[in-house]
Amino acid sequence: MKNWIIPVIIIAVIGFGLYSWAVGFNNTAVEYRADAKTAWADVESSYQRRNDLIGNLVKTVQGAADFERTTLREVIEARAKATSTTIDAANLTPENMAQFQQAQSGLSGALSKLLVSVERYPELKANQNFLELQSQLEGTENRINVARDRYNEKVNIYDKHTTKFPGKLLAGLFGFEEMPRYKADPGSENAPDVDFDFN
């Protein structure tokens, strides 16, 4: 009659061990995913700071009466597109990430064109507000790079936890999906052509 006690105890111990492992895996995955989402919020915050600075920069540049209106319009339109393209941290899909990156790249290109155009306007280059905004933009670009790198680090930790065996089995069961990483802009692997011909 007592022979059934030992198998029941063994089954109970194995069941408790599996339960503890599943709970531990789930809680760790939730924590890592939350860290990645927080890191994404930092990326968006850095981009928001850049958008705010660009708004102030545009106002400063508009004060130069003969400044190229086409270049200015391109920056304004790219900024509007970039600010309207946001991703909820709960909906970070590769498609949404690509759309977000494309909008931000468009703004970066328009901003670069604007800053190159400023070189032809000595009064703007001497404007203290413009110089301060330009300096803040440079610092913000560095913040953006750091925030994107930190986001990718957090995603890497989460993805390794949820894709390594045997955790991968539980990840599918609990609905933990791979998170997209922030990638380099297309074409950024090619060095830009620089023409130093001043003739």
Domain range summary for the chain, segments of one domain joined by +: 2-174
Mean pLDDT (whole number) for 5-29: 91
pLDDT for 158 beyond 80: yes
- Is the separation of the CB atoms in 188 and 102 below 8 Å? no
* Residue 177 token pair: 């999906």
pLDDT for 1 beyond 70: no
Nearest to 179 by CA among 29, 42, 47, 44: 29
Single-letter amino acid code for the residue at 165: F
Instruction: Specify the DSSP element, H or E, that contains 198.
Output: none
Q: Which long-range contacts (CB under 8 A, 24 or more apart) does 163-171 make?
A: 167/25, 167/29, 170/22, 170/25, 170/26, 171/25, 171/29
- Is the separation of the CB atoms in 39 and 150 below 8 Å? yes
Provide the pLDDT for residue 189.
Answer: 44
Cis peptide upstream of residue 122 (ω within 30 degrees of 0): no
- Is the separation of the CB atoms in 134 and 114 below 8 Å? no
16 confidence band (pLDDT: 50, 70, 90): very high
Tens of pLDDT along 114-150? 888 888 888 877 788 888 888 999 999 999 999 999 9
Provide the pLDDT for residue 39.
Answer: 95
pLDDT for 103 beyond 50: yes
pTM (predicted TM-score): 0.80
CATH of domain 2-174: 1.20.1440.20
Provide the pLDDT for residue 66.
Answer: 65
Query: How far is Cα 192 from Cα 102, in angstroms, rounded to an integer?
Result: 19
- Is the separation of the CB atoms in 118 and 130 below 8 Å? yes
Q: What is the DSSP letter of 93?
A: -
Provide the pLDDT for residue 198.
Answer: 34
